[in-house]
Amino acid sequence: MTDILYPILGGLCIGLSASIYLLATGKIMGVSGLLSQALFSPPSMNTKWLPLLFLIGTIIGGASYGVLTHQTVPFPDPRSPLLLIASGLLVGYGTRLGSGCTSGHGVCGISRGSIRSLVATAIFMLTAILTVMITK
Amino acid sequence: MMIFITLLCGILFGVGLALSQMTNPAVVLGFLDILGNWNPSLIFVMGSAIVVGVISYAIKNGLQAPWLAKNWSVPTHSHIDAKLVIGSTLFGIGWGLSGYCPGPGLTALVNNPQEGFYFIGAVIVGSGIFYIQNKRLSKA
CB contact under 8 A, B29 and A22: no
Q: What is the domain range of residue B31? A: 2-139
**pLDDT tens track of chain B, all 140 residues?**
999 999 999 999 999 999 999 999 999 999 999 999 999 999 999 999 999 999 999 999 999 999 999 999 998 888 999 999 999 999 999 999 999 999 999 999 999 999 999 999 999 999 999 999 998 888 76
Please state the domain count of chain B: 1
pLDDT tens digit sequence for A88-121: 999 999 999 999 999 999 999 999 999 999 999 9
How many contacts, defined by CB atoms under 8 Å, are there between A and B? 468
Q: Which residues pair with A27 in a beta bridge?
A: B73
Please provide the size of chain B in residues: 140
Asked if B59 and A23 come within 8 Å (Cβ–Cβ), the reply is yes
- Of B7, B8, B19, B29, which to mutate for an interface test with A (greatest number of A Cβ within 10 Å)? B19
Q: Which residue of B has its CA nearest to A84?
A: B119
For chain A, say whether B113 makes contact (Cβ under 8 Å).
Answer: no
Residues in chain A: 136
Query: Which residues does chain B have within 8 Å of residue A33's beta carbon, measured at their own beta carbons?
Result: none
Interface predicted TM-score of the whole assembly (ipTM), two decimals:
0.95
- How would you write chain A as a 3-class SS string? CHHHHHHHHHHHHHHHHHHHHHHHHCECCCHHHHHHHHHHCCCCHHHHHHHHHHHHHHHHHHCCCCCCCCCCCCCCCCCCHHHHHHHHHHHHHHHHHCCCCHHHHHHHHHHCCCHHHHHHHHHHHHHHHHHHHHHC
CB-based burial, B36-70: b 16+ in 10 Å, e otherwise: eeebebbebbbebbbebbeebbeebeeeeebeeee
Which sequence spans correspond to the domains of chain A? 2-135
d(CA B70, CA B85): 33
Look at residues A131, A11, A63 and name the one whose alpha carbon lies nearest to residue B29: A131
User: Which residue does chain A place closest to B115, by CA atoms?
Assistant: A78
